[in-house]
């Protein structure tokens, strides 16, 4: 898939995760404030991914499908799947034009506005609707009956499914690069993918690349959720693990309370309840099982031994996931997290604040990084001869992504497309090394 390249710094022995995370000593340019070196960080990331005994995981956020552009009618491109702000705008416009749900949605919007949420996103809207469903019973709240609320919930899920049920365009997407990387390197431990996204893009890429994976469900027709298989985890390491932290457009809860995975309506003709976003399960412990099991996998991954978690397309805006990640890093100093940020550090205030208190959380943004709790810009001046130049690091004007000066280095891997190319080149280097062994 990717042209093989000459070996790079991976030939050196890989450091332990605590050393892999970052360089403790910032780089300085003559006469300038201290800086970090992005080329060194790209090398360290490459080295962290190289040992076959290292436990490696990826957390893929909403920015990952946004990085894939598709042609739109009339020219230009659109993201394959919009971010949550644009998804909310699309759902809102469709509901406001729907004569069946228009009035109920207007009432929900007013309630949220009166509570101080003038511009709620789709997940906040679903949370509010589902909270009302749990308490309305046989009465009404502000004229909203349970049937109207449930119908609105179903309609939002239907619209969301239509939008996020996109297919990958071709076989050269960053999801395919990730899948090929997973399938191309033999490891002692399975690669684990965590995602709060509801889409099926990771599944498509893994299957198209013929990479076996386990996602907590077993069976063939209406595959069912089996927590015992997750807890025992006896599958071979060549099977990657895929954990959908906020559910999926193909998860359904049947009328008898079982959770199954399939596309569309149930095999017996009943629709069931689509399991997108777990907000409606907070009041019923028994119905939280799939989500709790997925979060437990993330906790377990960070808690046990040497582990490297790479986040991409994740803005660190989900406080629940943040707490799981940070508790894991605090409890296990041999675990490290590389947070790849698309834009400037100023756009991720919460993440930066946490990274300044957690030395094993490294944030690598377009304009600089927080490494070993030290917040610095990237160095000025490129190394065009470096193997990762143009792949992980570049210079020049990159507005509006960052306003950093043209001669200041920019780190590229916060863009999932660049991360995919990085993994493809890393795989090519690994194959070259294996051929020479």
Q: Where are the domains of the chain?
A: 9-69+168-264+282-436, 82-164
Which pLDDT score, from 0 to 100, does residue 332 have? 96
**Listed range (116-130, 168-182, 356-370, 390-404) with the worst mean pLDDT:** 116-130
**Listed range (153-157, 285-289, 326-330) with the worst mean pLDDT:** 285-289
Residue 269 in this model has a pLDDT that exceeds 60: no
Which pLDDT score, from 0 to 100, does residue 174 have? 98
Residue 62 in this model has a pLDDT that exceeds 60: yes
Question: 420: Cβ–Cβ under 8 A, 6 or more apart, which residues?
Answer: 173, 174, 175, 176, 177, 178
Measured at the CA of 356, the angle between CA 294 and CA 65, to 5 degrees, comes to: 45
Which pLDDT score, from 0 to 100, does residue 7 have? 35
Average pLDDT over residues 144-153: 92
> Beta strand 55-60 with 307-312: parallel, antiparallel or unpaired?
parallel
Average pLDDT, the chain: 87
* % of the chain with per-residue pLDDT over 70: 87
Burial code (b: 16+ CB inside 10 Å, e: under 16) for 135-162 equals ebeeeeeeebebebbbebbebbbebbbe
372: left (phi > 0), else alpha (psi -120 to 50), else beta? left
Average pLDDT over residues 57-69: 97
Higher pLDDT, 112 or 431: 112
Which pLDDT score, from 0 to 100, does residue 2 have? 41
Residue 278 in this model has a pLDDT that exceeds 90: no
Higher pLDDT, 30 or 79: 79
Which pLDDT score, from 0 to 100, does residue 431 have? 62
Which pLDDT score, from 0 to 100, does residue 374 have? 98
Residue 14 in this model has a pLDDT that exceeds 50: no
Which pLDDT score, from 0 to 100, does residue 271 have? 56
> Beta strand 140-141 with 144-145: parallel, antiparallel or unpaired?
antiparallel
Output the six-digit token pair for 123: 């997940």
Average pLDDT over residues 143-163: 92
Top CATH class of 9-69+168-264+282-436 equals alpha beta
- pTM comes to 0.88
Residue 216 in this model has a pLDDT that exceeds 60: yes
Residue 110 in this model has a pLDDT that exceeds 60: yes
Which pLDDT score, from 0 to 100, does residue 254 have? 85
Residue 321 in this model has a pLDDT that exceeds 90: yes
CB of 108 within 8 A of CB of 129?
yes
Separation of alpha carbons 349 and 411, rounded Å: 18
Most confident of 112-116, 215-219, 228-232, 339-343: 339-343
For 266, which DSSP code? -
Give residue 355's pLDDT band: very low, low, confident or very high (50, 70, 90): very high
Output the six-digit token pair for 61: 């956020």
Backbone angles phi, psi at 59, to 5 degrees: -110, 115
């Amino acid at each position: 898939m990717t042209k093989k390249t000459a070996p790079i710094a991976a030939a050196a022995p890989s450091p332990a995760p605590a050393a892999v995370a970052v360089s403790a000593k910032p780089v300085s340019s003559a006469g300038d404030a201290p800086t970090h070196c992005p080329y060194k960080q790209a090398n360290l990331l490459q080295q962290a991914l190289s040992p076959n005994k290292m436990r490696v995981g990826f957390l893929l956020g909403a920015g990952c499908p946004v990085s894939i552009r598709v042609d739109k009618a009339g020219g230009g491109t659109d993201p394959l799947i919009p971010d949550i702000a644009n998804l909310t705008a699309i759902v809102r416009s469709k509901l406001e034009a729907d004569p069946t749900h228009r009035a109920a949605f207007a009432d929900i919007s007013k309630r949220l506005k009166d509570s101080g949420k003038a511009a709620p996103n789709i997940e906040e809207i679903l949370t509010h609707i589902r909270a009302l469903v749990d308490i309305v019973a046989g009465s009404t709240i502000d004229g909203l009956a349970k049937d109207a609320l449930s119908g609105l919930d179903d309609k939002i899920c239907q619209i969301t499914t239509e939008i996020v049920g996109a297919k990958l365009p071709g076989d050269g997407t960053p999801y395919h690069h990730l899948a090929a990387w997973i399938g191309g390197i033999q490891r002692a431990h399975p690669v684990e993918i965590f995602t709060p996204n509801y889409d099926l893009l990771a599944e498509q890429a893994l299957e198209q690349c013929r990479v076996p994976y386990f996602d907590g469900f077993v069976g063939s027709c209406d595959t069912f959720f089996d927590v015992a298989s997750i807890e025992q985890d006896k599958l071979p390491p060549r099977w990657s693990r895929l954990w959908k932290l906020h559910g999926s457009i193909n998860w359904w809860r049947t009328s008898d309370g079982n959770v199954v995975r399939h596309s569309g309506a149930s095999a017996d003709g009943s629709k069931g309840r689509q399991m997108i976003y777990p907000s409606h399960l907070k009041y019923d412990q028994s119905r939280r099982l799939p989500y709790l099991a997925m979060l437990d996998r993330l906790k377990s991954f960070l808690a046990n031994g040497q582990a490297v978690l790479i986040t991409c397309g994740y803005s660190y805006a989900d406080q629940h996931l943040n707490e799981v990640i940070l508790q894991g890093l605090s409890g296990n100093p041999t675990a490290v997290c590389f947070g790849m940020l698309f834009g400037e550090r100023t756009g991720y205030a919460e993440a930066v604040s946490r990274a300044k208190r957690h030395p094993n959380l490294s944030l690598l943004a377009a304009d600089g990084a927080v490494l070993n709790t030290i917040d610095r810009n990237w160095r000025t001046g490129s190394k065009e001869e470096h193997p990762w130049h143009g792949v992980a690091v570049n210079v020049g004007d990159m507005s509006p992504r960052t306003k950093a000066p043209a001669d200041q280095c920019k780190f590229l891997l916060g863009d999932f497309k660049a991360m995919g190319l990085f993994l493809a080149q890393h795989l090519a280097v690994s194959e070259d090394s294996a051929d020479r062994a």
